[in-house]
């Protein structure tokens, strides 16, 4: 049986404060790094902060998931298990895991979620992970709606998680070794150097340069706004925003945006509901284009298309705001329908397609739609010689927007029913929520009197009951049975405050932790058993052996593999992006057979600084592989080099 049709909006939390903002702005769950072994080494958090976040989240029946998703060696595994227990003791609802050695350890009864680093591209892999005890599985970002649906249909109860927004890794997650091979910084150990964002020159094997120092591996950012309902219908139940290094303003904006989009779907779909409680009151209009992005793509959700990468820059160019009309030594004049502000950050592309930028010192609207901008960098043409009339400008920092989001911008309220009544010589007030929690308070025995103005008395009772103030509650349904008895405001207010405290305590008392799924049948492991299985400890070896897989090589991080190997495998194809795809040009080839040689999928050479890769193309799978070797001078840092095989 499939689980209930609850939808989860899953937001990133760089720290507890950002996580709290995510929940206030509509997240049903957040994911955060613990003190270690998370796939973002720069986003570690102490358990005191994680406890503060779990306490806050659980007030709204929201969840907190902690990343424990790097591969670990034998010595580190003990510490990883200790962190798992501490996470459980501090209220964490689930662990996000990559290393199968962790599954074979003495874990607390905490739910397990399969990390994106598990590289789940097939229904068989998703089903395998469910069978070994994972309750939630994040699918590869490269999967189409049809492939997602196949995975959903293969699962019995595990939920499908899918990235809907944020940065895209060009390689299949968990299968990118370029950073480690070049620098010793392992993506599978949370220290990716992001070599995919560097400029590359692309050559044919005989040395012909096809493109010079462009960012051919740098993808646009994921944005599934238009595909949310299709993803729901395909089986996605957890909608994940990427960005555990992003600041609070980013998380506020993107979380609020998707909260609104998902809520629109929920309003018309009786078969769906959100997984947490409360509604978020947002003080701004969400605008994803105003937060950091490299341009947007929906990637392969609806199939391959040409507009997935941005060769010009891996940075945030920003949203287009207008054109330059005039340039002087002191200022530029710009035609823009957007309001511009002091301290805005503007960018432009040079003739060489290099992104340049500058800060606005003073912005003045000299006439409607015409702005005079004084820059901090002067004389302007010495600093920016290519600025000229006609140059298109973009804004990657909207100062007014940033200032607005730096203030409190949301409140989250749980709807409750209230019933006020009179019982003999006492008033009573009952508050109850949709989960069956309730709290009843009584006044002291009083000398009750009839109200001189019955209707006004009832209106005053209602007004005072609705003053829920700084609590988590709002009165959404109210029944007043006052028998015309006068109720002093002081008594109503005191009883309301007491009832709100008691209801919060009841909700906390009845909060249910997620149950750990049990391993079911023993299925064979369906993937590669060489270094790409990322095995770094003995328990992981035993795990795979128990699932009929003989690991032939330890992880690349052991330093035991020095031959040429796949350092990246990608759905993004440089040939396709350059217009050289055989399949995409089949009609041209039919019209002119001499073109077949031009579009033949021969290997290409990618070079960036000291790094050189040979790109091969599997046209049947529509995949590109970058081949290379681990450099002999790569530092393995704290990796234990003890042979584990």
Domains assigned to the chain: 6-168+222-282+284-290 (3.20.20.60), 315-405 (2.40.10.170), 414-509 (3.30.420)
Task: Tell me how long the chain is.
Answer: 645
Cα(206)–Cα(408) distance, integer angstroms = 59
What the block records as the tokens of 50 is 């994680």
Residue 312 DSSP one-character state: S
Considering only residues 41 and 122, tell me which one the structure prediction assigns the higher pLDDT. 122
pLDDT in tens, 247-287: 999 999 999 999 999 999 999 999 999 999 999 999 999 99
**What's the Cα-to-Cα distance from 212 to each of 170, 419, 428, 565, 628, rounded to whole Å?**
20, 72, 77, 25, 20
Q: Answer yes or no: is pLDDT of 644 > 50.
A: no
Q: Which of 36-50, 236-250, 582-596 shows the lowest per-residue confidence on average (mean pLDDT)? A: 36-50
**What's the Cα-to-Cα distance from 623 to each of 38, 111, 447, 558, rounded to whole Å?**
28, 34, 82, 27
What's the whole-number average pLDDT of the chain?
A: 95
Residue % of the chain over a pLDDT of 70: 98
Residue % of the chain over a pLDDT of 90: 91
As a whole number, mean pLDDT of residues 464-478 equals 97
Q: What is the pLDDT of residue 368?
A: 97
> DSSP string covering 129-189, please?
HHHTT-SEEEPPTT--HHHHHHHHHH-SSPEEEEEEEE---SSPTT---HHHHHHS--GGG
Cα(429)–Cα(444) distance, integer angstroms = 12
Residue with tokens 């299949």: 172
Q: What is the pLDDT of residue 637?
A: 46
As a whole number, mean pLDDT of residues 79-108 equals 97
Q: What is the pLDDT of residue 640?
A: 45
What the block records as the tokens of 418 is 């209230």
Q: What is the pLDDT of residue 636?
A: 54
Q: What are phi and psi of 196, to 5 degrees?
A: -70, -15
pLDDT in tens, 322-363: 999 999 988 999 999 999 999 999 999 999 999 999 999 999
Q: What are phi and psi of 403, to 5 degrees?
A: -65, -40
Q: Answer yes or no: is pLDDT of 4 > 90.
A: no
Q: What is the pLDDT of residue 634?
A: 72
Q: What is the pLDDT of residue 635?
A: 53
As a whole number, mean pLDDT of residues 84-99 equals 98
Evaluate whether 606 touches 598 at the Cβ level (below 8 Å): no
Q: Cα dihedral angle (333, 335, 340, 343), rounded to 10 degrees?
A: -40
pLDDT in tens, 296-317: 999 999 999 988 999 999 999 9
What the block records as the tokens of 630 is 């681990």
Within 13 A of 121's CA, how many CA atoms are on the CB side? 16
**pTM for the structure as a whole:** 0.95
As a whole number, mean pLDDT of residues 625-642 equals 70
């Amino acid at each position: 049986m499939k689980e209930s049709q609850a939808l989860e909006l899953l937001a990133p939390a760089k720290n507890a404060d950002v996580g709290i903002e995510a929940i206030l702005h509509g997240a049903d769950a957040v994911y955060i790094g613990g003190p270690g072994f998370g796939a973002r080494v720069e986003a570690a958090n102490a358990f005191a902060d994680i406890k503060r976040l779990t306490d806050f989240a659980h007030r709204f029946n929201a969840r907190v998931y902690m990343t424990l998703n790097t591969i670990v060696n034998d010595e580190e595994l003990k510490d990883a298990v200790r962190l798992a227990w501490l996470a459980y003791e501090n209220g964490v609802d689930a662990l996000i895991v990559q290393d199968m050695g962790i599954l074979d350890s003495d874990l607390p009864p905490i739910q397990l979620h399969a990390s994106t680093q598990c590289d789940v591209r097939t229904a068989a892999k998703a089903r395998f992970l469910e069978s070994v005890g994972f309750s939630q599985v994040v699918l590869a970002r490269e999967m189409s709606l049809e492939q997602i649906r196949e995975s959903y249909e293969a699962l019995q109860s595990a939920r499908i998680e899918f990235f809907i927004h944020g940065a895209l890794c060009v390689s299949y997650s968990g299968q990118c070794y370029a950073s480690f091979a070049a620098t010793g910084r392992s993506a599978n150990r949370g220290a990716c150097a992001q070599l995919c964002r560097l400029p590359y020159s692309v050559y044919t094997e005989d040395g012909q340069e096809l493109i010079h120092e462009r960012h051919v591996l740098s993808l646009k950012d994921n944005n599934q706004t238009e595909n949310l309902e299709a993803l729901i219908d395909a089986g996605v139940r957890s909608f994940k925003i990427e960005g555990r290094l992003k600041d609070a303003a980013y998380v506020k904006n993107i979380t609020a945006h998707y909260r609104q989009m998902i809520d629109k779907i929920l309003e018309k779909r009786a078969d769906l509901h959100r997984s947490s409680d409360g509604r978020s009151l947002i003080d701004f209009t969400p605008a994803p284009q105003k937060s950091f992005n490299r341009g947007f793509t929906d990637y392969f959700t609806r199939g391959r298309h040409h507009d997935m990468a941005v060769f010009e820059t891996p940075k945030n160019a920003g949203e287009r705001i207008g054109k330059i009309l005039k340039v002087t030594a002191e200022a530029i004049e710009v035609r823009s329908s957007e309001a511009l502000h002091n301290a805005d950050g503007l960018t432009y592309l040079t003739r060489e397609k290099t992104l340049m930028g500058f800060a606005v010192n003073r912005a003045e609207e000299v006439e409607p739609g015409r702005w005079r901008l004084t820059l901090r960098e002067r004389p302007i043409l010495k600093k920016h010689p290519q600025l000229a009339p006609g140059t298109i400008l973009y804004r990657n920092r909207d100062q007014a927007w940033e200032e607005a989001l730096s203030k409190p911008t949301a409140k989250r309220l749980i709807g409750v029913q209230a019933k006020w009544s009179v019982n003999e010589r006492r008033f009573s007030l009952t508050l109850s929520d949709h989960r069956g929690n309730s709290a009843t308070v009584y006044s002291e025995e009083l000398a009750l009197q009839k109200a001189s103005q019955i209707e006004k008395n009832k209106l005053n009772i209602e007004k005072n009951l609705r003053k829920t103030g700084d609590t988590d509650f709002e009165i959404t349904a109210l029944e007043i049975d006052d028998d015309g008895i006068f109720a002093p405001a002081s008594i109503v207010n005191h009883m309301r405050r007491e009832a709100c405290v008691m209801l919060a305590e009841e909700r906390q008392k009845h909060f249910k932790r997620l149950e750990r799924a049990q391993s079911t049948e023993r299925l064979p492991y369906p993937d590669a058993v060489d270094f790409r299985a990322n095995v770094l400890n003995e328990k992981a070896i035993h795990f795979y052996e128990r699932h009929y897989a003989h690991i032939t090589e330890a992880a690349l991080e052991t330093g035991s593999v020095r031959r040429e190997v796949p350092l990246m495998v990608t759905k993004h194809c440089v040939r396709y992006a350059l217009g050289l795809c055989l399949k995409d040009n089949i009609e041209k080839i039919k019209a002119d057979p001499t073109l077949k040689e031009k579009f033949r999928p021969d290997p290409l050479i990618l070079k960036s600084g000291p790094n050189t890769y040979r790109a091969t193309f599997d046209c049947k799978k529509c995949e590109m592989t970058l081949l290379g070797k681990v450099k002999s001078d790569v530092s393995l840092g704290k990796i234990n080099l003890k042979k584990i095989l």
